[in-house]
Structure 1
Amino acid sequence: MAYSTDNQPSLLSSGIGGAFQLWFYKSTDAATLVRASGYFTDGYELGMRAGDIVLQVDTDAAPIASQIMIVSSAVAGTVDLSDGTAITATDTD
């Protein structure tokens, strides 16, 4: 599925003095799609910058999958995220 500006990432926290920002993004897209360069077509315009952190949740995975990614680069029209680190959710009950 492609990114839609109707479901933009949310800014959770903005660091003081230009420190990194923390973003949250939830969709049915897998991390392999979200981390691809250019997925966030309006990320730079929203304020994403290199060094920012993105918490990504794939609601279509079973169980729901999460990743922590870093914005590798951000210029007008193209944001690129790192491969990310999976956050595993084990529910054994």
Structure 2
Amino acid sequence: MAYLSKNLSVLSSANAFTMWHYTTTDTAATVDTEGYFNQASGMLRVGDFIVANVDTDGTPAHGLFVVLSNAAGVVDVGDMVAVGGTDTD
């Protein structure tokens, strides 16, 4: 599957920082692919957090992505840090 704008929503925004929520049937490794969030490049800023529910139709995982870069319309997020503090690819 691919990024779906209807699944990205703002949880909170203050001081040039936004916390987002995203849910998808894609795995954490797919979401972590550079360019996955390119369609949202006009909204996402470096340092924003994305609280995520991934692989919702398989083995669900929950965690946090951080926007590492957003330049020329190309967005890259870091590996998901799963709830409990374990890195997930």
Q: TM-score range by the shorter chain?
A: 0.7 to 0.9
Q: Give the unaligned 5+ runs of structure 1.
A: 89-93
Task: Confirm whether residue 54 of structure 1 aligns to residue 50 of structure 2.
Answer: yes
Residues in 1 aligned to 2:7 and 2:73: alpha-carbon distance in whole angstroms: 14
CA distance in 2, matches of 1:9, 1:44: 12
**Which is higher, the Rg of structure 1 or of structure 2?**
1
Percentage identity across paired residues of the two chains: 37
Q: Give the ranges of 4+ consecutive aligned residues of structure 1 lying more than 2 Å apart after TM superposition.
A: none
Unaligned runs of 5+ in 2: 85-89
Is this contact kept in 2: 1:42–1:76, CA < 8 A?
A: no
Contact 1:55/1:68 (8 A) holds in 2: yes
**Partner of residue 91, structure 1:** none
Asked if 1:70 corresponds to 2:69, the answer is no
Instruction: Name the TM-score, length of structure 1 as normaliser.
Output: 0.77
Structure whose residues are more often strand by fraction: 2
Distance 2:72 2:39 in 1: 8
Output the CA distance in 1 between the equivalents of 2:83 and 2:38: 25
